[in-house]
Chain A
Amino acid sequence: MILENPLRVGLARTCATEPCVVVIFGASGDLTWRKLCPALFRLAEESLIPREFAILGVSRTPLSDEEFRERLRQGLPQGADSALWEAFSRRIHYHAGDHRDPAGYAALRERLEVLDEHHRIGGNRLFYLAVSPADFPLIASNLAAQGMNRPTRGWARILVEKPFGRDLFSAMELNGELLRHFDESQIYRIDHYLGKETVQNILTFRFANGIFEPVWNRRYIDHVQITAAETLGVESRGGYYDAAGALRDMIQNHLMQLLALVAMEPPARLDAEAVRDEKVKVYRAMRRYKPREVAGCAVRGQYAPGHIEGTAVPGYRQEAKVRPDSQTETYAAVRFLVDNWRWSGVPFYVRTGKRMPRKVTEVAVQFRAVPHLLFSKTPEDALEPNLLVLKIDPEEGISLRIATKYPGMVTRVRWVNMEFQYGRAFAAPSPAAYERLLLDSMLGDATLFSRGDAVEAAWAVVDPILEGWSSDSGSTEPYPAGSWGPRAAEAFIEDEGRHWRRI
């Protein structure tokens, strides 16, 4: 570990990035030149990566180091510092090989040892798997066969792209495979829907304001609505999406995380482990429906042709690489229940959809109405409860709806929203997702990555819904693109005496 460096005291970065080599599998692919290399280069621009550093790209396409560098240079933004790129690119190398072929890994190990020596790295390795998830177990076991999972010097970490599994079974299988060769602490599962900034904004709001925590429970909260709406369709991801659907693509990972942040107990510390412990506890407390109960707790829909911002757009089944009779949901709404002391009886309505009228992500916490009506001059239905909205996208902020007296002789109540937007007032623009992910994994900070047990616990909650839907093929209701989802979704929440928020 790092000896205390007395010169580090008081510097913004209290923790130094250790020397390491980033080994990218899938190096000739899209992700590498488009996202990973520019992100690493920006980290270099900000002097955030160590001096002793190297990149080794691995894929089958035969390329020389020079050719690989040239390919990566294409991905740099306009006006990148060419002198810096010169120095940076000298640390980029390429190794041609088939990652499915176990025989090739001895050569890979030797190559890494040479680089280690050459760039004075000292053994630390970050394996970035930018390949199809089907190949994750294979690469893990091949690395292990050469002892690269348990280095004698330094650390080895393995970073896997999303998605992690397509149901509980496959996720457990994948976890099992990875865990056979690597410890949980070595595995970094990407799930970067929520930026670190957002996560911290929510935690700060909840736990640094003494006035909210006491009312943050079933006695004062009526229900919670979590919405993630996009205006886009499936775009070019038709093939992948058609096999996944909204529940897998958005709810299982992203929205359940958001739910966990809102519902969790205060962690003992703000570090990755403590926060992740609390999140898992929420997943474990979530009601597991029986597949046959699904109709009462979840609704799905699929967009039909319609209009987005005045422009006609095709329906889902007309999109490229989508089966013309597809039942895949592009809209899903689920009522989750968190069966614990704090939340018992408080529904969490979670909805997500493509081709919605607006792009919005938010969490709305609706408080209970006042118990007794003092204001006779106000029509009863105009007396709304307090509402607290944590806005996440497109603009982060908080809004609180409170009742005020209307000016004048009569006691009439008027509702006003107090709005606050983080905007530039506090949040220095947060670094792009991949910069953050790469830096954090080099620093060994797992906050933004999912832990194995959390992934499984989340799958365990949505698995019965998937199962229920698969046995009830007729339940996907079409909705016109540009609307707020299928009619069944309205009925579903109104049956419980509530409404979706108009956003």
Chain B
Amino acid sequence: MTALLSTNEVVVRFGVLQAVSQASIEVHAGRVTGLIGPNGAGKTTCFNVITGLQEPTSGKVLLEGVDITGKSPSKRARLGIARTFQKLEVFGSLSARENIMVAAEQRRSWDKSGFDPRAVTDEILEKVGIADVSEFMVGTLPTGTARLVELARALATNPRLLLLDEASSGLTEEETEEMAALLRRLVAEDGLGILLVEHDMSFVMGICEYIYVLDFGRVIASGTPAEVQANPTVQAAYLGTDATEDAS
């Protein structure tokens, strides 16, 4: 089975700094894949490469085996890639409903199934659990809620592949539980492939079926949560970075 998404030896260089070094990862439909690593490991940069916001210095991005490396971010959205951002990128002067509506309306330009953007919006508002704040301008919402708006917006494009950058940061414990349940449902019921960047280890270990560990831009380990946790290289990479991890 070809992977939903695979990156092929992706390298990203910023001047002298190698942010990502020959990272090859795979994301399969119907399961949550984790991408973890200390601060500055290159996780967000990987996301940017996958969504087309950052051109890789070398390497390829394949969606179901098709090379999409040169495609623009908006084309990739059409192909079914959606994401959230580590630092909020919500449309702050639109209401939560409008945030989702923009995405749902945009989907009409490639998805000709004749759906009603309004209905889709309402449905997603319910699904993500933000229907009660739908009329507030997102700029006035607390960070955790705004993060959910971003997730809802990503879902409104009806993606096959969902990239979540620090999905649970800013959420309360309760909200994190709900988020985990939601992600499980998305994967099980809608067959989405999810790639998750996360610092909350219990969250990651609880939800991911497969995990990649990135350090200094390299994939230093990969495997099931149990395998990764047992890996000495991973422990070494994390041990030295306790302080920075807390700071994030």
Please say whether chains A and B are actual partners in one complex.
no
Binding site for A on B (CB under 8 A): none
Binding site for B on A (CB under 8 A): none
